[in-house]
Amino acid sequence: MDQDMQDFAAEVRRFLDAHVARAPDRTARPWGEGDDSMAYFSSLPPEKEQEFVRRAREWQRIRHENGFGWITGPVEYGGRGLTAVHDLLYDAIEAEYDVADTGVLSVIGLGMIGPTILAHAQPQVRERWLPAMYRGDAIACQLFSEPGAGSDLASVATRAVREGDDWVLNGQKVWTSVAQHSQIGLALTRTNPDAPKHRGITAFLVPMDAPGVEVRPLRQMTGGADFNEVFLTDVRIPDDHRLGEVDGGWTVALTTLMNERATVGSEGAGPVAAALSPDHLSALMRATWTWDDRALRARLAELLVDAMATEHLNARALRKLRAGTAPGPEMSVSKLMYGQNLTCAAHFVSDVLGPRIIADTGKWGTYAWTELLLATPALRILGGTEEIMKNILAERVLGLPKEVRS
């Protein structure tokens, strides 16, 4: 690491040491003690969720006041003007501390929509929203997907029609994380149905309290409601809330998608880390008297090989970043493997538990695994389906020809 990075790392540690404690090692926690939650999605009751969001805003404010709210952002909007490598280094160091989970603000809002506003919004919109977002005051959501536009995002059908200085939006969005907490949403709309589908899209910043915006929780197969449907009925948006050119919204969307943050280094956190921990899994086998089952042992070994090789992949990508070089395809591979590893772990654990996972006996560390089991199908879909990720790897890394598309 060069001197500049070392200085930055030391500054980060001084800041964190002054404000928070070191994180406990979740993978080393003793079997049978403490919370046995295996929830991948939050699925909190409303009052707990409000508290969760409050703590996230609070920690973001503290970060912001100490110069770590927006490490890569321009100084005039309260940013630090440093590089993505500084940002990742900060994340890697912060992961060692017991800080509030700020995912509700950062994953979509600060990580993806902030940079899009910066690149494409008009000056008064940038000034109005960027400092508020990075201070933790404004949460942003992404109004992209629709029932008819998932992986094929350019098929969006929500209409925006010009009326004087305003635009009127009508349509339905879906899979919108954090919409219930958001102050703004970035919407893709169809403004020209006659143009080729990528060329007739326009992007708008929608104040979520505008009349006609309705957020409805969408219950998913886990039983929780981490996503929402957002209905837009005659929502009036001033033209200065348009991002980019009329019919030029696809460029705006690409900015957002390209800013999908690197997930490297973040996988060690969260309760599900224990699902891939050798100690935790071996404790489970001891607790269920299955440790000498040869078939289960073979599966455990295979699972651990994949989990550890994925860790090695992340460690190498992180080391490259710290040395200031951009990693190659490691992050896409890592995302694919993360979903697969957790899926394998959930099914391995299910088979170790046997009937104990099909009905709740109240015993610690048994039925709780249903939370992970039921979340795993989502991991192969969210943030780009496995199929889309493989197309990207094959086309961009291996140079295979593009799929013939209509």
Amino acid 353 reads L
Q: CA-CA distance, 329 to 337, in Å (whole number)?
A: 12
Catalytic residue among 11, 214, 229, 260: 260
Find out whether 188 and 254 touch, Cβ atoms under 8 Å: no
- How far from 166 is each of 144, 161, 236, 341, CA to CA, in Å? 21, 8, 6, 48
Is 267 an interacting residue with respect to another protein (CB under 8 A)? Answer: no
Gap between the Cα atoms of 390 and 336, Å rounded: 9
CB 265 within 8 A of CB 213: no
Quick one: which segment of 98-106, 130-138, 189-197, 331-339 binds another protein (CB under 8 A)? Answer: 331-339
Looking at residue 195, the DSSP 8-state letter turns out to be: S
For residue 36, the minimal CB distance to another protein (Å) is 20
**Hey, which residues between 386 and 405 contact another protein (CB under 8 A)?**
387, 389-391, 393-395, 397-404
258 is a contact residue toward another protein (CB under 8 A): no
3-class secondary-structure state, position 362: coil
Length in residues, the chain: 406
Q: State the minimum distance, in angstroms, from the CB of residue 263 to another protein.
A: 15
Residue 395 annotated among the catalytic residues of the structure = no
Q: Choose one: 124-132, 171-179, 191-199, 327-335; the region binding another protein (CB under 8 A).
A: 327-335
**313 touching another protein, by CB under 8 A:** yes
Q: Does 295 bind another protein (CB under 8 A)?
A: no
Among 312, 326, 361, 406, binds another protein (CB under 8 A): 312
Task: Give yes or no for residue 322 binding another protein (CB under 8 A).
Answer: no
**Look-up: residue for tokens 């992961």?**
95
| Site track for another protein across 168-207, x = CB under 8 A | ----------------------------------------
Stretch that binds another protein, among 9-17, 51-59, 73-81, 313-321 (CB under 8 A): 313-321
- Say which amino acid occupies 27: T
> Closer to another protein at the Cβ: 300 or 353?
300
Residues 6+ apart with CB under 8 A from 232: 143, 158, 169, 170, 171, 172, 173, 187, 206, 212, 213
Instruction: Tell me how far apart the alpha carbons of residues 262 and 334 are, in angstroms, rounded to a whole number.
Output: 10
Instruction: Based on the shown chain and the rule CB under 8 A, indicate whether residue 297 belongs to the binding site for another protein.
Output: yes
Interaction of residue 28 with another protein, rule CB under 8 A = no
Residue the block writes with tokens 């912001």: 64
Q: Select the residue interacting with another protein from 2, 7, 302, 360 (CB under 8 A).
A: 302
Which of 330, 349, 357, 372 contacts another protein by CB under 8 A? Answer: 330
The CB-of-337 to another protein minimum distance in angstroms stands at 7
d(CA 320, CA 393): 20
Nearer to another protein, 230 or 300 (CB): 300
Give the integer Cα–Cα distance in Å for 283 and 352.
11
CB of 332 to another protein, least distance (A): 9
Residue type, 324: G
Residue 61 CA to chain centroid, in angstroms? 20
Choose the binding region for another protein from 7-15, 24-32, 205-213, 290-298 (rule: CB under 8 A).
Answer: 290-298
Query: Whole-angstrom Cα distance, residue 183 to residue 203?
Result: 17
Tokens of 387: 């199929």
Contacting residues toward another protein, per CB under 8 A: 278, 281-282, 285, 291, 297-298, 300-302, 304-306, 308-310, 312-313, 315-316, 323, 329-330, 333, 336-337, 387, 389-391, 393-395, 397-404
Active-site annotation, residues:
260
